């Protein structure tokens, strides 16, 4: 455990030195505050609570931005150290390869968690300062959105580590990471939407739709935060959530599996790789 924490601290210090922490926190805070003040403006017209509108806006922002940030900070975590020759120096100490991967993962998740908590917390503070009243259910949904956003980031950090363990050059890792982001965030959903339109419910039933949604971590996150009763009608995901019939526990377990499996695969690949 001590070795893992030492590697995690090293990653956090590098994140501070490279301005990753500052840049990510400011970016998330600026976008969250913008969406909070602009996105909650039409609540009087649509009859929805201001915090519910903010949850929909921030969840949509998270689906596009958090996976991209996670992949950018993690895609060269292993291959980058190998190219610079620092991995050999690190492994010359009494530390296991799995401890290096886990320590780096903990450090990167800590960086993303800090940025998400501060960035999205600023939006909550802004609503509280302006006197916007919301019920306990909305605040619970907001807290759930923040925690699940961190979990979504952990998913793509783990995927970034697997990419970094498989390739031989940083440039290749960067290209694959962008491809993974495009596929998960844009292409998969467009293909799924096209399939549902063409199928018209003849082949794709509730169980198959549930499996297809769980096969993409961003869809599991979207359904978890935008398919609930309080924001389902506002986000337009209420109908999909009813047909898929996936509970919150199932969606959280799916996101945890999407984190553990790629991270375990990265550890196994890195353990067998020649330096």
Tens of pLDDT, residue by residue over 3-21, are 888 888 888 877 777 776 7
CB 98 within 8 A of CB 185: no
- State pTM to two decimals: 0.86
CA dist 100 and 120 (Å) reads: 30
Q: Which residues of the chain have pLDDT under 70?
A: 20, 39-49, 131-134, 228-245
3-state secondary structure the chain: CHHHHHHHHHHHHHHHHCCHHHHHHHHHHHHHHHHHHHHCCCHHHHCCCHHHHHHHHHHHHHHHHHHHHHHHHHCCCCHHHHHHCHHHHHHCCCCCHHHHHHHHHHHHHHHHHHHHHHHHHHHHHHHHHCCCCCCHHHHHHHHHHHHHHHHHHHHHHHHHHHHHHHCCCHHHHHHHHHHHHHHHHHHHHHHHHHHHHHHCCCCCCHHHHHHHHHCCHHHHHHHHHHCCHHHHHHHCCHHHHHHHCCCHHHHHHHHHHHHHHHHHHHHHHHHCCCC
Taken in order 249, 255, 259, 262, is the CA torsion positive or negative? Answer: positive
Q: Which residues, in sequence order, are CB contacts of 184 under 8 Å at separation 6+?
A: 67, 156, 216, 217, 218
pLDDT at 67: 93
> What does each C-alpha distance from 252 to 66, 165, 214, 233 come to in angstroms?
17, 26, 10, 21
The model's pLDDT over 251-274, given as tens digits with 9 standing for 90+, comes to 999 999 999 999 999 999 988 887
């Amino acid at each position: 455990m001590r070795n893992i924490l030492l590697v995690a601290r090293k990653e956090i210090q590098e994140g501070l030195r490279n301005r990753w922490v500052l840049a990510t926190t400011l970016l998330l805070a600026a976008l969250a505050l913008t969406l909070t003040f602009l996105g909650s403006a039409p609540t009087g017209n649509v009859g929805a609570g201001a915090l519910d509108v903010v949850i929909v806006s921030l969840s949509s922002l998270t689906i596009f931005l958090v996976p991209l940030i996670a992949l950018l900070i993690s895609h060269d975590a292993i291959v980058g150290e190998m190219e610079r020759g620092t991995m050999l120096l690190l492994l010359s100490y009494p530390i296991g390869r799995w401890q290096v991967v886990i320590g780096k993962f903990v450090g990167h998740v800590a960086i993303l968690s800090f940025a998400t908590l501060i960035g999205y917390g600023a939006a909550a503070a802004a609503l509280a300062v302006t006197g916007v009243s919301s019920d306990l259910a909305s605040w619970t949904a907001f807290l759930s959105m923040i925690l699940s956003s961190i979990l979504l980031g952990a998913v793509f950090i783990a995927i970034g580590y697997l990419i970094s363990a498989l390739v031989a050059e940083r440039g290749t890792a960067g290209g694959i990471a962008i491809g993974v982001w495009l596929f998960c965030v844009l292409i998969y959903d467009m293909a799924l939407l096209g399939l549902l339109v063409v199928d018209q419910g003849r082949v794709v039933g509730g169980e198959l739709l549930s499996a297809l949604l769980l096969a993409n971590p961003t869809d599991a996150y979207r359904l978890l935060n935008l398919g609930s009763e309080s924001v389902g009608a506002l986000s337009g995901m209420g109908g999909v959530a009813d047909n898929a019939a996936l509970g919150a526990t199932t969606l959280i377990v799916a996101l945890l599996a999407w984190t553990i499996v790629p991270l375990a695969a990265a550890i196994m690949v890195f353990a067998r790789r020649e330096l």
